[in-house]
Amino acid sequence: MVHSVLLFLLLTLTAVSAQQHQYDDPSITATMEKFSGYTINEPHSFQLTSLSVDAQALQNQIDELAAFSDSPAPSVTRVLFTDKDVLGRKYVKTQMELAGLSVREDAVGNIFGRWEGLEPELAAVATGSHVDAIPYSGKYDGVLGVLGAIEAIRVLKRAGFKPRRSLEVISFTSEEPTRFGIGCLGSRLLAGSEDLANALKTTTDIQNISFLDAARSAGYGKNGDDLSSVFLKKGTYSAFIELHIEQGPILEDEGISIGIVTAIAAPASLKVEFEGNGGHAGAVLMPNRNDAGLAASELALAVERHVLESGSIDTVGTVGILELHPGAINSIPSKSHLEIDTRDIDEERRNKVVEKIHQSAIKITKTRGVKLSDFRVINQDPPALSDEAVIKAVEITTKELNLTSKLMISRAYHDSLFMARLSPMGMIFIPCYKGYSHKPEEFASIQDMSNGVQVLALTLAKLSSQLHLQK
């Protein structure tokens, strides 16, 4: 009898052990999950208290990266493919490698740092932003989304997390349009813009240096002029999420920790030029003038008027560049050049504003006797909506971390606008001081950055662990 009981117990333990070991076989586990609809051995089953952010180390890295600048501190100037940009890129790659990520770059300098998942055949979850900086800007715009993403990976590793889907950090090339007039250049190409790939073959900067020559000088584009190798297939990533400072005052004013972005406004960029007769500022009487400068000024005011006429707070317009030729105090401008930015979360409404600006430019030529020598729409991108499943993952995460949050719109555009063409997309905002951005006073507190990195880390864990995004 005793022998029979012992034999029964031995057989039972062997069966239980065998059943347990079958869950360790990824192929068996995947099959069981596929047919059962349930997740076995949750990869992100760790304690929230173990999500420890080294916020001071992150601040130190942001400060160190800011030192690679062509303008004195506290401002930052880091323009595409300049020496300081190349040094900044090396710094980012070093941080990726120190975090244990495998690093690769594409033909235009998009940088990828990958943490291989338990099931690498699944589409990865991606995060990231940019580290280029417009002249005399701050040190947090974009940088938080790159260095903060690397810190999020470190957080997960310290917590003992093992991702099912691979996690990838991306530092995008030239989110800012500073050098070649094209914003989100790297992410546009990743999303498969053939028009851009072709245009870059002949694109030059104000010093007449071609994009391709500039790329080669920085160590990229060595495989000829074909940039289609940068294109990614839709579905390469199961989700993309970007951490960013708000660049506006709402979160700080309302005392809210996290902004959850529901939509990104669509930008349209215009280049306009007027030509007049010019002449001596003293000799040509007012009734006889055809002043290209006043034509430009009148159009700038028309931009403001048409934006306000839209009736929506979400419609905005900016004349960011206004140049006069010959640019002398005693000379009537014979040429003027404007660059106009208008945005809205409603594409049709924004396009109506663009058309009204065009009609005003034509009208001004008649009333002021000048020539409209150029009116070009440089880009006219559609808006992007965040994916409901990504929004839900961030909402759940903020509740689990006991952080206040708010659904909001991003009126600034980001690389996420174009990553939405490849995969479900979302964004996480943190407050920044007085909403300042694109200026040296730009600032985010260590606590706010820590909150953002925690939310990003846990959201990445959730998205990595899902076989399918659950809406």
CATH number for the domain spanning 229: value is 3.40.630.10
Which residues sit opposite 163 in a β-bridge?
none
Q: Looking at the structure, do residues 353 and 207 belong to the same domain, yes or no?
A: no
- The tens place of each residue's pLDDT in the chain, 471 residues long, gives 434 433 433 433 343 344 344 434 555 444 444 433 334 445 445 667 678 999 999 999 999 999 999 999 999 999 999 999 999 999 999 999 999 999 999 999 999 999 999 999 999 999 999 999 999 999 999 999 999 999 999 999 999 999 999 999 999 999 999 999 899 999 999 999 999 999 999 999 989 999 999 999 999 987 777 899 999 999 999 999 999 999 999 999 999 999 999 999 988 999 999 999 999 999 999 999 999 999 999 999 999 999 999 999 999 999 999 999 999 999 999 999 999 999 999 999 999 999 999 999 999 999 999 999 999 998 899 999 999 999 999 999 999 999 999 999 998 889 999 999 999 999 999 999 999 999 999 999 999 999 999 999 999 999 999 877 655
Q: Looking at the structure, do residues 401 and 344 belong to the same domain, yes or no?
A: no
- Looking at 380, 413, 435, which one is the last position of a domain? 380
Three-state DSSP at 469 gives coil
In a domain, 19, yes or no: no
Burial bucket for residue 20 (CB in 10 Å: 0-12, 13-18, 19+)? exposed
156 contacts 459 by C-beta, under 8 angstroms: no
Q: Looking at the structure, do residues 90 and 113 belong to the same domain, yes or no?
A: yes
Q: Looking at the structure, do residues 249 and 323 belong to the same domain, yes or no?
A: no
In a domain, 224, yes or no: yes
Q: Which of 61, 134, 53, 136 is nearest to 91 (CA)?
A: 61
Three-state DSSP at 464 gives helix
108 contacts 221 by C-beta, under 8 angstroms: yes
424 contacts 387 by C-beta, under 8 angstroms: yes
In a domain, 13, yes or no: no
Q: Looking at the structure, do residues 244 and 139 belong to the same domain, yes or no?
A: yes
Q: Looking at the structure, do residues 430 and 388 belong to the same domain, yes or no?
A: yes
At 139, give phi and psi (nearest 5°): -110, 10
Q: Looking at the structure, do residues 355 and 393 belong to the same domain, yes or no?
A: no
- Looking at 380, 404, 431, which one is the last position of a domain? 380
> What type of residue is 179?
R
Query: Residues of 398-418 as b/e, b for ≥16 C-beta within 10 angstroms?
Result: beebeeebeebbbbbbbbbbb
**In the structure, how many helices (H) and strands (E) does the chain have?**
14, 17
At 312, give phi and psi (nearest 5°): -120, 140
Task: Report the distance separating Cα 163 and Cα 171, nearest Å.
Answer: 21
Task: Report the distance separating Cα 275 and Cα 43, nearest Å.
Answer: 65
Number of domains comprising the chain: 2
> Where in 284-430 does DSSP place strands (E)?
316-325, 331-332, 335-344, 371-380, 384-385, 405-410, 425-430
In a domain, 226, yes or no: yes
In a domain, 37, yes or no: no
CB atoms within 10 A of CB 394: 26
Q: Looking at the structure, do residues 233 and 122 belong to the same domain, yes or no?
A: yes
Q: Which residue's entry shows tokens 């009537």?
A: 332
In 3-state terms the chain splits into helix, strand, coil percentages (rounded to 5) of: 40, 25, 35
In a domain, 1, yes or no: no
317 contacts 352 by C-beta, under 8 angstroms: no
Q: Which of 147, 240, 153 is nearest to 190 (CA)?
A: 240
- State the CATH number of the domain containing residue 303: 3.30.70.360
- Looking at 330, 356, 380, which one is the last position of a domain? 380
Task: Report the distance separating Cα 282 and Cα 4, nearest Å.
Answer: 117
In a domain, 9, yes or no: no
Q: Looking at the structure, do residues 151 and 260 belong to the same domain, yes or no?
A: yes
In a domain, 20, yes or no: no
Q: Looking at the structure, do residues 174 and 323 belong to the same domain, yes or no?
A: no
Return the pLDDT at 45.
Answer: 55
Q: Looking at the structure, do residues 336 and 248 belong to the same domain, yes or no?
A: no
Q: Looking at the structure, do residues 334 and 459 belong to the same domain, yes or no?
A: no
Return the pLDDT at 470.
Answer: 56
The domain of 351 spans 267-380
CB atoms within 10 A of CB 348: 7
What pTM value is reported for the model? 0.84
Using alpha carbons only, what angle is made at residue 111 by residues 107 and 113, rounded to the nearest 5 degrees? Answer: 135
Return the pLDDT at 3.
Answer: 46
